Amino acid sequence: MHLNHDRRAFLGTMGSVVAGAATTPMLAAAAPSKSSDAEVAVVELFRGLTPAQRKVMAFEWDHRAKDRGLLRTFVSNNWQVTEPHVTSDFYSKKQQMLIHDIFKALVDPEWYPKFLKQLKDDTDGRPWGDEQSIALFGEPDKKFQFVMTGRHMTLRADGNAEPHVAFGGPIFYGHAASGFTEKPGHPNNVFWPQALAANAVYAALDADQKKRALVEKRPPESAVSFRKDPATIPGLPLKELKGASLEKVNKALATLIEPFRKEDRDEVRACLAARGGLEACRIVFYKESDLGGDGVWDNWRLEGPAFVWHFRGTPHVHVWVNIADDNSVVLNARG
């Protein structure tokens, strides 16, 4: 997506990024900003909302919902942040196009058709926008967040309003490509290559490392908060890996972040580096719920002091992502 000159010129009148957003120069350079494509479209959408629309889907920055807490930080596997769907008559055609622009800008161009496939498969063939909803938090001339939700999707754009977290907060993605319970190998699942990349790490381990990387039971899928003591993280410490096995880990990380826009990929790496890099992380595979009993582990997790990428592959793919440069950030998630 390439935003037109008018949108960029409009953004230029809005001033600098919110105070405090550049607490770490590395993160400031890596993170999305108010001049990123998605954020420019968010501001344009925000400015064009009617009072009636704002009453339904625009909230104060710290708005709390009765059953979800701080709403702009909530994440779940299947939820609607507000009632109106994107392609309903609640939004004008121009607004629907802007929302689509935001969505498209949040993902890597090569992954855009894959996300469309995932959304279509997971909504009984409905087109994009028919079962997704959005909300806006804050104010465009201060700090703001856009969130898009639906089945197997929570995506955010915030122009680095929350400088300590990647993706603007915890995100979720998933896919049930061939029914609720997928077959071994997850045919046509767009996210299954991520599990194959992780399993390639497992295959490169020696016998002792495999034993320490594999545990019996998987945790609740939404349990992706940061641990107070990183020493309690289960699995195999990646600092032990060298050569081919370490190369496999780096390839797996690249595969995990590949679906998302470059600014978010860069911020993930910056957050990870701020907390010791991959060397401070562990990888764990779960014996439980191995589809087909084939030893290709459907459920696994990459975890560090302020980094959790949890892949649940049974009965279909759910992925929970929570990344920051500060492990005191509190999770607000529900499975």
Q: Which domain holds residue 237?
A: 192-327
Type and span of the H or E element at 167? none
- What is 212-238 written as a DSSP string? HHEES-PPPTT--PPPS-GGG--SEEG
- Do 76 and 208 fall within a single domain? no
- Do 210 and 169 fall within a single domain? no
Rounded Cα distance, 223 and 243, in Å: 32
Residue 324 one-letter amino acid: A
- Do 167 and 41 fall within a single domain? yes
Residue 242 lies inside a defined structural domain of this protein: yes
Instruction: Evaluate if pTM is beyond 0.75.
Output: yes
Residue 186 lies inside a defined structural domain of this protein: no
pLDDT for res 141 = 87
What are the tens digits of pLDDT across the range 232-274? 999 999 999 999 899 999 999 999 999 999 999 999 999 999 9
Domain count, the chain: 2
| Structural contact between residues 238 and 283, judged by C-beta atoms closer than 8 angstroms | yes
CB burial string 210-242: b at 16+ within 10 A, e below? eeebbeeebbebbebebeeebeebebbebeebe
Residue 153 lies inside a defined structural domain of this protein: yes
The Cα-based distances of 302 to 2, 247, 252, 256, 280 in angstroms read: 34, 15, 10, 10, 11
Q: What are the φ/ψ torsions at residue 158 (nearest 5 degrees)?
A: -140, 5
pLDDT for res 293 = 95
- Do 53 and 159 fall within a single domain? yes
- Do 203 and 110 fall within a single domain? no
Type and span of the H or E element at 250? helix 243-257
Burial of 148 (0-12, 13-18, 19+ CB in 10 A): buried
Sign of torsion over alpha carbons 189, 194, 195, 199: positive
- Do 117 and 244 fall within a single domain? no
What are the tens digits of pLDDT across the range 103-114? 999 999 999 999
Instruction: Look at residue 190 and give its three-state secondary structure.
Output: coil
- Do 231 and 166 fall within a single domain? no
- Do 97 and 144 fall within a single domain? yes
Domain end call among 143, 175, 207: 175
- Do 169 and 203 fall within a single domain? no
Rounded to a whole number, what is the distance in angstroms from the first to the last CA of the chain?
A: 33
Domain end call among 117, 141, 175: 175
- Do 164 and 224 fall within a single domain? no
Q: Would you put residue 209 in left (φ > 0), alpha (ψ -120 to 50) or beta?
A: alpha
Residue 73 lies inside a defined structural domain of this protein: yes
- Do 314 and 205 fall within a single domain? yes
Domain end call among 175, 210, 239: 175
Residue 333 lies inside a defined structural domain of this protein: no
Q: What are the φ/ψ torsions at residue 46 (nearest 5 degrees)?
A: -55, -45
Verify cis geometry, omega within 30 degrees of 0, for the bond prior to 230: no
Residue 184 lies inside a defined structural domain of this protein: no
- Do 309 and 219 fall within a single domain? yes
Residue 299 lies inside a defined structural domain of this protein: yes
Rounded Cα distance, 197 and 285, in Å: 13
Residue 187 lies inside a defined structural domain of this protein: no
pLDDT for res 29 = 55
Place of tokens 């490392």: 209
Place of tokens 């996210």: 191
pLDDT tens, the chain, 335 aa long: 444 433 333 333 222 222 233 333 344 458 899 999 999 999 999 999 999 999 999 999 999 999 999 999 999 999 999 999 999 999 999 999 999 999 999 999 999 999 999 999 999 999 999 999 999 999 988 999 999 999 999 999 999 999 999 999 999 999 999 999 999 999 999 999 999 999 999 999 999 999 999 999 999 999 999 999 999 999 999 999 999 899 999 999 999 999 999 999 999 999 999 999 999 999 999 999 999 999 999 999 999 999 999 999 999 999 999 999 999 999 999 99
